[in-house]
Structure 1
Amino acid sequence: MKKLTFFLISLLTVFTACSDGLDNVEYNRNSDIVVATPEATVTTGTSLTVHSSVTGNLNNVAKRGFCYSVNVLTPTIKDNVVEADENFSASISGLTGNTVYYIRSYVYGNSRYTYSETFTVTTAASSLDEQLKNYVAPTYEDYYVDIASWDQRNQWNLANVHDPTVVLAEDGYYYMYQTDASYGNAHTAGGHFHGRRSKDLVNWEYLGGVMPALPEWVIPKLNEIRKEMGLNEVSPETTDFGYWAPCVRKVKNGLYRMYYSIVCPGTLDGANSWGERAFIGLLENSNPANNNGWEDKGYVITNASDKGLNFHIKPDDWANCYYKWNAIDPSYLIDNDGKHYLIYGSWHSGIAALEVDAETGKPLNTLPAPWGTSEDIAAYGSLITTRQMGNRWQASEGPEIIYNAATDYYYLFVAYDALDTPYNTRVCRSRNINGPYLGIDGVNLSQDGGEMLPVVTHPYKFSNSYGWVGISHCAVFDDGNGNWYYASQGRFPQNVEGNAYSNALMMGHIRSIKWTSTGWPVVMPERYGAVPQIAITEDELVGNWEHIDLSYSYGKQKESSNMTLAADHTITDGSWKGGTWNYDTEKQILTANGVELCLQRETDWEANPRTHTIVYAGYTNNKTYWGKKKK
């Protein structure tokens, strides 16, 4: 299995700390302290000045401040927070105009928080132009070495993220979970499948691991299968297992499912036999705000082989490996008919689809022994896409499947190539969840296999930055209002700032998705930073752009070059020099040199200080293009 060479960071230790120590405070009133309901003394479209007071026994008051939210009626410090000065006053900035905010003042002392009643205030009306003028970009560091350690986890935000999965819950939070991986193995102090949450997709609160230790069913199930195969029982160290690539979904109100991968160490039968198997298991929770509330529902599926018990295949005979399906990298979807599907697979034969029972989340049909002929193991799933038909070492993994009602297509996103630098994302689509899936060039990836196009993300570099590599294994999700997002890790290139391990720095990336006129998702080149989406005018497009041909080149970080759009609608510099451009203001589509490019206002993460800019992304049948406007 390819991920057994998982770079520096997949060694794990087990311990019990799901509560993480961050939630061990009481959120109720102290009888000897009274906190006054806050008041707003200055209100604008983007800021508030608030004031409060506290009476009673003040000797133990160590901290005071205000917490606020737009959708939580009784906010706590787990929502947005600003500390107060010595007069119990504070300014809250970065707000949205003409919006209702719920605010409570608090004090902290004697290891507990005491809150006021809720104060409700509406910010002044603010035009979109004013909001853009007052836009404040995210300030957290991408090169997070100084806060990478476990004791700095409250400052991580999106640092130490790998293989994220994201769900929007009933409480208005986006919850993110991930593979066990971090810079310097900091995560090993905190359980498995670490979680965090956010209201705005910009500021993330670390929650801790959802699984304290290796599930009790794993080693017995492993030995049950080994015994049936005529193999000896094993007693591997629990620290040697891999915890990879969860997938979280809301099934309905009050029910959330998380499929997860457990990779077993060792080989089937010593030297010159294939590697040990992996398992996909299932957790359920009624409310992801309770990070300790994930209940393990046990075994779902394992690797299946169509080679019977002929597992003495040399470990380096990659194209002929023992398993047909590799039971890692789950994705989960409820289709238009209400049927539930598990989509999974990594390298091996490709990506498989399996119908599961809606009530249990387990396979709909009873699974036979995970070895035999192709017919014997048919219950383990059917092929929906493959990169190379007949080759079982094909560098594709990490499927993520969604359905977009606006286009009436199922979209399957897949990760290609090695993790460290070359990692890139592809997408294909189908009218049916079981295929056939076609690329943008019309290649039938279900029937014939082939290079999936378009390229969605790829190693890249804008000027004034180191750029990013290893951008893939994505989560794709929406906000329920037609806005779609792409989340993945991004890795620093090798030897940044003389750091021999910089490629193990993994920052969580979230990007907006736009949809082309032909119904293909394009991922914006700059990360999401909550820039107000004011309509882009034609005049703003005139000038210099950083243009990237993002088309596939194995392991190469594609760098930007200058492109100039002139006011007379000609292109006067760059690889498209001599071409023309035009702009559809209503659809926010720039067509340059015949290529349709979707526009979006986004954060300019390379600027110093960071600010907002305009970016584009678009496809031809065999090319991908990214760009951003220069300041």
Structure 2
Amino acid sequence: MQENQLTFGVHDPTIIEHDGRYFLYSTDTRQPETSGVPIRMSRDLVDWAFIGQALPGVPKEAKEWSNALGLWAPEIIHYGDEYRMYYSTSTFGSTKSYIGLATAKTPIGPFKDQGLVVKTSSELCHHNAIDANVVTDKEGSQWLLYGSFFGGLYILPLDKKTGKPSETGFGRRVAMRPQSVDTAIEGGFIYYNPDTDYYYLFCSYDSLNDTYNIRVARSRHIDGPYIDCKGYAMDDFTHHPDEIGMKVLGSYQFSGEKVVLAPGHNSIFKRSDNQLFMVHHARRKAFSDEFFLNVRKLTWLSNGWPVVSPCLYEEDCEQKSLELAGDWKVIRFDKYSHLQESTTETIKKNDYQKTDDNEFKWQGNLVKTWLEMVDGNTEQVLSGMTTEGYGIIARKI
């Protein structure tokens, strides 16, 4: 896969579009050296240039509360005549955390700190105020989804005029994992699909250093309950914790290619032409700073569940009616967080039935196929859901 060196060091990414350009915001990983939120710009979602930083460092009130050295996991939205950036401050292993708000008239600033949105500590509550995501529900109201490890993910209503909570307290919990897996859940993002009339809660399980993987569940209501494709709730403690959530993407390696390790902390970006992308980071090596930006097309199966491309986005391809027959490199994810390696499988014409536009039922799996650019060449790819309710990705040989 082609890689852009300027997207190395990108962690916890989110993208917005403005005036024909794309702006990428991410955690301050000191790659390159910054003291605020690094900002990168692109015209094609592939080639990125570092153009500066939002905020000169950790704002005074946030630093005094959290003792943070840098800004984490920014979220940015455009509302009215301003850009609102929600930033997180904390230290590893602590719930003394702070989500603040900064505003600007342009995507590149200058940003002015507007102070506290929500803060946590062990004396105040049992959860953690980092990883902000602002969601607009189908009635037009705004909500703040936040949380990491400890007490799970919470959702809190916002006042659209101020961008801050419209009620006191910490909101409602929508997802949590048990102590047996170190309560490892974070990086939540909610996307509303008007075609299915569901809210989809994406989140990351396990350790960002080596075992990260992306799960999804859905709800008719923005504040839950969020239920996965097996009927399990995202705060279910009665089943094995690794069985909860449809696993969209985990660590994998196609034969003869570089490993994609610990994909996670995703956002969903909707381009002006309505094409959806999952934006996340991944690693090349466990417990290292070798992480980089991943932008992948996201689409929907006819059963209403999302799937993502096995390939990093390079450019749009002309789409046409495709068939499944042929030899494929196939990766099936399961409930565990280990690395999945591809197997070579031959699909024959009598092995599948067409169910929808470029969608097929194959060995009980529901899969969708399309064309992607891979290292400058056009390839046929597929993504889908296995009979067990976990993701499947493949590339035609």
Same fold (TM over 0.5): yes
Q: Counterpart in 2 of 1:460?
A: 252
Query: Cα–Cα, structure 1 residues 407 and 347, in superposed 2: closer, same or farther, change >3 Å?
Result: same
Alpha-carbon distance in 2 for matches of 1:420, 1:219: 25
SS of 1:412's partner is: strand
1:560 aligns with 2:350: no
Which AA in structure 1 matches 2:248?
Answer: V
Query: Cα–Cα, structure 1 residues 395 and 139, in superposed 2: closer, same or farther, change >3 Å?
Result: closer
Alpha-carbon distance in 2 for matches of 1:392, 1:286: 43
Indicate if the aligned counterparts of 2:13 and 2:27 stay in contact, CA closer than 8 A.
yes
Question: Equivalent of 2:25, from 171, 177, 180?
Answer: 177
1:260 aligns with 2:82: no
Query: Cα–Cα, structure 1 residues 473 and 220, in superposed 2: closer, same or farther, change >3 Å?
Result: closer
1:582 aligns with 2:372: no
Q: Counterpart in 1 of 2:56?
A: 212
TM-score w.r.t. length of structure 1: 0.59
Alpha-carbon distance in 1 for matches of 2:158, 2:322: 48
Question: Equivalent of 2:182, from 367, 388, 393?
Answer: 393
Choose 1 or 2 for highest CA Rg: 1
TM alignment of 1:370-449, pairs within 5 A: 379-388=169-178, 393-446=182-235
Alpha-carbon distance in 1 for matches of 2:127, 2:377: 46
Which AA in structure 1 matches 2:342?
Answer: S
Matched length: 393
Alpha-carbon distance in 1 for matches of 2:278, 2:88: 21
Per-residue displacement from partner, 1:548-569 (whole Å, max 9, x unpaired)?
1122323x21000111123xx2
Alpha-carbon distance in 2 for matches of 1:628, 1:489: 21
Alpha-carbon distance in 2 for matches of 1:159, 1:600: 28
Considering Cα pairs closer than 8 Å and 6+ residues apart, tell me whether 1 or 2 has the greater RCO: 2
Indicate if the aligned counterparts of 2:73 and 2:88 stay in contact, CA closer than 8 A.
yes
Indicate if the aligned counterparts of 1:454 and 1:621 stay in contact, CA closer than 8 A.
no
Q: Counterpart in 2 of 1:350?
A: 152
Per-residue displacement from partner, 1:21-46 (whole Å, max 9, x unpaired)?
xxxxxxxxxxxxxxxxxxxxxxxxxx
Alpha-carbon distance in 2 for matches of 1:559, 1:446: 30
Question: Equivalent of 2:162, from 329, 353, 360?
Answer: 360
Query: Cα–Cα, structure 1 residues 424 and 621, in superposed 2: closer, same or farther, change >3 Å?
Result: same
Alpha-carbon distance in 1 for matches of 2:300, 2:221: 19
Query: Cα–Cα, structure 1 residues 292 and 483, in superposed 2: closer, same or farther, change >3 Å?
Result: closer
SS of 2:214's partner is: strand
1:300 aligns with 2:117: yes
Alpha-carbon distance in 2 for matches of 1:629, 1:221: 52
1:165 aligns with 2:45: no
1:624 aligns with 2:391: yes
Q: Counterpart in 1 of 2:72?
A: 244
Q: Counterpart in 2 of 1:131?
A: none
Q: Counterpart in 2 of 1:278?
A: 97
SS of 2:231's partner is: coil
SS of 2:71's partner is: strand
Per-residue displacement from partner, 1:407-444 (whole Å, max 9, x unpaired)?
11111101111112211000011111111110011112
Per-residue displacement from partner, 1:160-212 (whole Å, max 9, x unpaired)?
2111011223x12221100112xxx443x322211112232122222121121
Alpha-carbon offset, residue 530 of structure 1: 1.3
Q: Counterpart in 2 of 1:615?
A: 381
Q: Counterpart in 2 of 1:543?
A: 326
Alpha-carbon offset, residue 478 of structure 1: 1.0
Alpha-carbon distance in 1 for matches of 2:163, 2:94: 27
Indicate if the aligned counterparts of 2:384 and 2:393 stay in contact, CA closer than 8 A.
yes
**Structure with the largest fraction of strand:** 2
Indicate if the aligned counterparts of 2:228 and 2:234 stay in contact, CA closer than 8 A.
yes
1:474 aligns with 2:266: yes
Quick one: percent identity of the two aligned structures? 30
Please, what is the CA RMSD of the aligned residues?
2.3
Indicate if the aligned counterparts of 1:242 and 1:264 stay in contact, CA closer than 8 A.
no
Alpha-carbon distance in 2 for matches of 1:339, 1:176: 25
TM alignment of 1:42-121, pairs within 5 A: none
Alpha-carbon distance in 1 for matches of 2:301, 2:73: 29
Indicate if the aligned counterparts of 1:349 and 1:391 stay in contact, CA closer than 8 A.
no
4+ residue runs of structure 1 moved beyond 6 angstroms? none
Alpha-carbon offset, residue 287 of structure 1: 1.6
Alpha-carbon offset, residue 448 of structure 1: 5.7
TM alignment of 1:307-318, pairs within 5 A: none
Alpha-carbon offset, residue 330 of structure 1: 0.7
SS of 2:117's partner is: strand
Alpha-carbon offset, residue 140 of structure 1: 4.3
1:518 aligns with 2:345: no
Indicate if the aligned counterparts of 1:248 and 1:257 stay in contact, CA closer than 8 A.
yes
Indicate if the aligned counterparts of 2:65 and 2:98 stay in contact, CA closer than 8 A.
no
Alpha-carbon distance in 1 for matches of 2:94, 2:8: 32
Alpha-carbon offset, residue 475 of structure 1: 1.0
Query: Cα–Cα, structure 1 residues 216 and 595, in superposed 2: closer, same or farther, change >3 Å?
Result: same
Which AA in structure 2 matches 1:164?
Answer: P
Indicate if the aligned counterparts of 1:350 and 1:392 stay in contact, CA closer than 8 A.
no
Indicate if the aligned counterparts of 1:476 and 1:485 stay in contact, CA closer than 8 A.
yes
Alpha-carbon distance in 1 for matches of 2:213, 2:236: 23
Alpha-carbon distance in 1 for matches of 2:264, 2:147: 15
Which AA in structure 2 matches 1:244?
Answer: W
Question: Equivalent of 1:195, from 27, 33, 39?
Answer: 39
TM-score w.r.t. length of structure 2: 0.92
Which AA in structure 2 matches 1:193?
Answer: V
